[in-house]
Structure 1
Amino acid sequence: MRSILYGLLVTLLLPSVVFSREGGFVSDRQEIEYEYRGLIPESRVVINMPEPEYINPAKPTIVIFYALPNGNTIEQTKGRKPDAVSGEKDGWRYDIQHIAAQTRFLRSKDKNSNYVVVYLESALRAWTTHASKYGDSPRMYRNLIDTVRSIIADKSSGKAERGKQSIVLSSHSGGGRFIFSYIQGEATIPDYIKRIVFLDSVYGYEESLHSDKFCKWLGQSSKNALVVYSYIDTTVILDGKHIVSPTGGTGYKSRQMAGDLIAWGMKLTSASDTSFCSYTLKNKVQILIKENPHGKIYHTVLVERNGFVSSVLFGTRYEQRGYKFWGNRCYNPFID
């Protein structure tokens, strides 16, 4: 019955292939994209994956759901070379995340996995607004992830079956609300979710709603990992005003999350220097908080300076190979 319903859904949605790019960008692989609108109300989804003949069914498929930051389109999030969008309004937005190029870097380095990235965009340009508008957003977001997993299995010609998919929930900025709403709707975080990533996106964290679920999920499997990158944003003043309250920024929320994990019995190691404060547990937890005594804005820089790559490869054999978090862009050769 499930497969019949899924077939009807795909037929009704009439997905379109956005493009299929011939070789050269991802070593010897090709990539293809599918776009869907309306999988849930006021949403747009773009799936980027290797073409089926380049998917190895003997290898795990890592599916990264990337919930977009407020105000950005999927095209801006994917990124372009500055000269390719020089005359476009808000052209600077194409040069601050480069998730497409960072994904290609992942594919070039990790030949033992198939990488799929799923861009999640709210038509309201903010998952915070979307979640507030729809009271049943936790159920909707769960259904969205479930549907996309089935689409990937179908489009891969069965080479990336649901049972072979390792799911990563990743987000930037207001995209964190998508993840928190999803978690809120689950009694426990499902075991097929292997990594949860917050790239300066933990504004919505609440101890009473999330800490016990994170701890239980981290304890379920040695393969589960939580990655959080943020910065001290309480020192930032814009137009004469602080951009966040003393307890509302991601730096504060990240420290709160680390403290809650420790209170639940997780043996995190803390360290600090002039650049970062960190809370870590080998291969399982990495919480990095950028120090910011001069009140600079590092919101998107945490993504741009290899943050997406680092968040996916933390705790793997490829960690810090060919890149460094907060270093120079490792993915420049892969930018369109």
Structure 2
Amino acid sequence: MRRYLLMLLMITVHVVLSASLSAAEPLWTGFVQSPWFEEQYQYLQPVPEVRAMIIAPRPEKIKPEHLNRVVLFTTPNGSSIEQTLGCAQKAGRDWHYAIQHIAAQHRQWQSLNERENLILVCLEAKGLSWPAWRSRHADHPRLIRDVIAAILKQIPLKDPRLTLACHSGGGSFLWGFLNGSDTIPSEVDRFVFLDANYSFSAADGHGKKFSDWLQGDKRRSLIVLAYDDRNVLFRGKKVVSPTGGTFRATQRMRDEFEKEVAFQESGAGDFKTATALEGRLRLVVHQNPENQILHTQVVGEMNGYLYGVTVNTPEAQEKLPGPPRSYTRWIQPEPFTMSEQEASP
């Protein structure tokens, strides 16, 4: 009897495994399987001095009837792709791996989003500084378009919508993209600046480009998350200049947009929010009453990426950013690493 039950169990396991294997589809060309989640990923170098990583669901998880969305997230100053995507903390591991967790936040959004096939792309500039990369390349508006075109060529999905998101100096990539033409391409339907809007400039036409783009389609959103950094001290000195920082940049944005639209204000906890165009233009500012450095906290500890990509969508949880982290189950135990095969051009 025991032998019969054992044989029955083995047959059942074989049937289940066979069904699972037959349901799996081949990975996309050049992609490898994640060891932790039902994901595939690929490293690539779309242009010189730019490194990228694409993370996508396994092919059998892609629903042909769903909208396709590619999120381009540019790394902050001082962080690599792997650190920006994040992993679990452990003794001796660099602290940068545990402050943003963009991959884990993206996975949580993916678990909630039954409307879209979500692809995450993380972009890193040589030297871990997008402002420095732009200063080295006078033709950066063209290069940025080339980066995006090369990435989309590697993603075999039709007509994806684009979300451009960033943290810190990663905003420089988005401003370079904006400077590349008089209008914002129609496939872009969301911008997310996570304490990254330092370089907003009305003189460069940023306000007009955003206004025209926002008013051209009610499915478009511009989300800005910042904090009051005017009086924050580090080693006894202010961290921003008398005219710098994202608090002042956000006010410049508001001043420019108010030439065309009216804002509504609301407050909850430490946040003040100004919205226009039915909430599609949203400036969210932490008032920072204790004058802390919240530059990374607004992204990781406060679930800032999740807020930025989900607000104004069915997945929005109708609450402002804030702790605790809601995505801990999606944090991978070890960092992504680039194998020798993946590193080769």
Aligned to 1:5: none
Q: Is residue 34–residue 41 contact of structure 2 (8 Å, CA) maintained in 1?
A: no
2:305 to 301, 304, 308: 308
CA distances 1:143-191 after superposition (whole Å, capped 9, x unpaired): 11122112112xxxxxx21x2x110000000000000011001110011
Contact 1:191–1:220 (CA under 8 A) maintained in structure 2: no
Aligned residue for 1:42? 49
CA contact (8 A) 2:70 2:120 kept: yes
Which is further off, 269-278 or 171-180?
Answer: 269-278
1:150 matched to 2:172:
no
Q: How do 1:180-191 residues align onto structure 2 when only pairs under 5 Å count? A: 180-191=175-186
Distance 1:306 1:105 in 2: 11
Q: Say if 2:33 is the partner of 1:20.
A: yes
Q: Are 2:299 and 1:294 equivalent residues in the alignment?
A: no
C-alpha separation in 1, matches of 2:271 and 2:252? 16
Alignment of 1:100-119 (within 5 A): 100-119=103-122
1:130–1:217 Cα change, 3 Å: same
**How many matched pairs?**
301
Of residues 209, 214, 236 in structure 2, which corresponds to 1:213?
Answer: 209
Within the candidate set 257, 276, 280, 2:271 is matched to 276
Q: Deviations over 1:117-147 (max 9, x none)?
A: 1000001210000001100101100111122
CA deviations 1:232-283 (Å, max 9, x no partner) are 11111112211111221001101110121111x1222123456122111224
CA separation of 1:273/1:325 partners in 2, compared to 1, >3 Å: closer, same or farther? Answer: closer
Give 1:74-153 correspondences, 5 Å limit: 74-83=81-90, 86-88=91-93, 91-153=94-156
> Are the aligned partners of 1:233 and 1:251 in contact in 2 as well (CA < 8 Å)?
yes
Kindly indicate whether residue 80 of structure 2 is the aligned counterpart of residue 65 of structure 1. Answer: no
The 8 Å contact of residues 70 and 126 in structure 1, kept in 2 or not, is answered as yes
Residue-by-residue CA offset, 1:76-120 (whole Å, 9 max, x unaligned):
11111112xx223xx211111001100110111111111101000
Q: What CA distance in whole angstroms lies between the structure 1 residues aligned with 2:146 and 2:35?
A: 33
Q: Is the 8 A contact 1:235 1:292 kept in 2?
A: no
Counterpart code for 1:328: P
1: distance between equivalents of 2:34 and 2:78? Answer: 27
Kindly report the root-mean-square deviation, in angstroms, between the aligned alpha carbons of the 2 structures.
1.6
SS of equivalent residue, structure 1 residue 252: helix
The amino acid that maps onto 1:87 is G
State the one-letter code of the partner of 1:95.
A
Contact 2:167 2:193 in 1 (8 A): yes
Per-residue deviation, 1:22: 6.1
Q: Structure 2: which 5+ runs fail to align? A: 1-28, 333-345
Counterpart residue number, 2:192: 197
Per the normalisation by structure 2, the TM-score is 0.84
CA contact (8 A) 2:109 2:315 kept: no
Look up the match of 1:267.
262
The answer on 1:33 being equivalent to 2:28 is no
Flag structure 1 segments of 5+ consecutive residues without an equivalent: 1-14, 154-159
In the TM superposition, residue 16 of structure 1 has moved relative to its aligned partner by: 4.8
Report the residue type matching 1:317 in the other structure. P
Are the aligned partners of 1:246 and 1:252 in contact in 2 as well (CA < 8 Å)?
no
Question: How far does the alpha carbon of each residue in 1:195-225 deviate from its partner, in whole angstroms, 9 at most, with x for none?
Answer: 0010000111111220000000001101110
Aligned partner letter, 2:141: P
Secondary structure, in 3 states, of the residue corresponding to 1:120?
strand
SS at match of 2:34: strand
Give the structure-1-normalised TM-score: 0.86
CA contact (8 A) 1:306 1:324 kept: no
Name 1:318's counterpart in structure 2: 315
- Give me the whole-angstrom Cα distance separating, in 2, the residues matched to 1:166 and 1:268: 27
